[in-house]
Amino acid sequence: MLDSLSDKSKHIAIGAALGVFFTLSTTAIVLAAKGSNSKTSRHLDTHASANARRRSSISDSLSRMISLPKTEQENLIRDGVAGLIGNTPMVRIKSLSDATGCDILAKAEFLNPGGSTKDRVALSMINTAERDHILTPGNGSTIFEGTVGSTGISLAMMAKARGYSAWIVMPDDVALEKSQLLEKLGAHVEKVRPVSIVDKNQFVNLAKRRAQEFGKDDQEGGSSSEDPKKTGFFADQFENLANFEAHFTTTGPEIYKQTQGNVDAIVMGAGTGGTLAGVTKYLKARIPNLKAYLVDPQGSGLFNKVKYNIMYSPTEKEGKRKRHQVDTVVEGVGINRLTRNFAMSEGSIDDAFRVTDQEAVDMARYLVHKDGLFIGSSSAVNCVGAVRIARELGPGHTIVTLLCDSGHRHLTKFWNDEYLAKQGLDVKDVVDNLDFIV
């Protein structure tokens, strides 16, 4: 901090600290001299010793502050909300590690300011759009996105920080608290019935059309970097490769640094596929023997795409689907089409595992009971996958996964016992072992 001050200011700061030092020293000496042979003297001696320790602590702190490199001083303070994104901690999940004999590590992405790993994606997409002069901060432009929640929340947060508006289109069957949070962040929320991607009113398609409609009036007048017009920007998280780049340039390098490259396997689910592709591509280029695994919820076609190169799920068969979209209570992962972001992982994924809804629900309850971790549905899927891989590889290995978000935005669905029971799931008050993973 002192490196950013002028020499004169430095001298004033140091002089003030030394003044406190000498004042406290003088006071202690005078008081001690007045009662050196009495009970008061003993009290003052103790008081003087405490002051001496305090002065020593102040002096040490000041010395450390003066000697701290400027780059480290700057890292102590983050610049705005964007500065809070990334550099999330890695946690060893004790119960899972102890039970499997492996170190199961999870990157705590729920500690991003918007509460999920999608903060990285939102920041990357907005930065890219600004760099390409598609968006100009503060000019009244609106960011449009189709999302089941987390990306929309992250975009709404960053939109406020950069002076934009946010228009979020989402299925009407997602957890209620997601739309409530979006509205509190100032976003316009449009809910639609879940339909196939081939339908023009599917939530992603509708968000794209809304962006195109928004920009028409301003496009007629033209725009320039000198006189930028407000625009409707479709973020397009599924196809926008700024998603992949966010994880290739931040999440992957952070994992490598935190583990010092000592990773045997990485495992996670995929929605847009950007996280899986970005992290895997980065780490595999540096850890030759690393294994990468996809974990996929019920109804998603990605499992079969990785295993058999066929985008198909048996639950898509006529009359078999129980719920809309993919056939799962899990939100945020699972899809039935191949996105540009997921395609970036081609040749990098070694195998895939299916995770049932029951396994995901039980894992979430197990981690609350054993570790005090309150996680969301996609995080639970990841942890089931991590245990599967640990059992397959055997004790002594290190497996890394992500805790994408917490359970706070899943209260009305994934953490709603009544809702889960209606879906035919067995909801237990306490899950105290891992026997539910088959």
Confidence of residue 230 (pLDDT cuts 50, 70, 90): confident
Chain length of the chain: 438
pLDDT of residue 365 exceeding 80: yes
The more confidently predicted of residues 12 and 94 is 94
Strand order in the sheet with 291-297: 90-92, 103-107, 398-402, 265-268, 291-297, 351-355
Residues 353 and 365 sit within 8 Å (Cβ to Cβ): no
Looking at residue 320, its pLDDT comes to 46
CA pair distance 78, 74, nearest whole angstrom: 8
pLDDT of residue 336 exceeding 60: yes
**Catalytic site residue from 10, 70, 118, 216:** 118
CA pair distance 195, 201, nearest whole angstrom: 8
- In percent, the amount of the chain with pLDDT more than 90 equals 71
The more confidently predicted of residues 58 and 180 is 180
CA pair distance 128, 76, nearest whole angstrom: 26
pLDDT of residue 95 exceeding 90: yes
Task: Give me the mean pLDDT over the 74-91 stretch.
Answer: 91
Annotated active-site residue 107? The verdict is no
Range scoring the smallest mean pLDDT among 18-32, 193-207, 250-264, 287-301 = 18-32
Question: Which residues touch 90 (CB under 8 Å, ≥6 apart)?
Answer: 105, 106, 107, 108, 255, 258, 259, 400
pLDDT of residue 210 exceeding 90: yes
Confidence of residue 8 (pLDDT cuts 50, 70, 90): very low
Looking at residue 203, its pLDDT comes to 95
Confidence of residue 139 (pLDDT cuts 50, 70, 90): confident
Report the alpha-carbon angle 383-339-303, nearest 5: 45
Going through 62-171 in order, the beta strands assigned E by DSSP cover 90-92, 103-107, 142-146, 165-171
Confidence of residue 319 (pLDDT cuts 50, 70, 90): very low
- Residue-wise DSSP of 41-54: HHHHHHHHHHHHHH
The pTM of the whole model exceeds 0.85: no
Looking at residue 33, its pLDDT comes to 44
pLDDT of residue 356 exceeding 60: yes
pLDDT of residue 73 exceeding 60: no
Task: Give me the mean pLDDT over the 179-195 stretch.
Answer: 95
Burial 302-340 (b: 16+ CB within 10 A, else e): bbbbbeeeebebebeeeeeeeeebbbbbbbbbbbbeebb
Range scoring the smallest mean pLDDT among 81-90, 300-309, 396-405 = 300-309
- In percent, the amount of the chain with pLDDT more than 70 equals 76
Mean pLDDT of the residues in the chain: 85
pLDDT of residue 265 exceeding 60: yes
Looking at residue 311, its pLDDT comes to 81
Tens of pLDDT, residues 383-437: 999 999 999 999 999 999 999 999 999 999 999 999 999 999 999 999 999 999 9
**DSSP β-ladder status, 291-297 and 351-355:** parallel
pLDDT of residue 255 exceeding 70: yes
Task: Give me the mean pLDDT over the 100-104 stretch.
Answer: 98
Confidence of residue 98 (pLDDT cuts 50, 70, 90): very high
Tens of pLDDT, residues 12-71: 444 444 444 444 444 444 334 444 445 445 555 555 566 666 666 655 654 554 555 655
Confidence of residue 76 (pLDDT cuts 50, 70, 90): confident
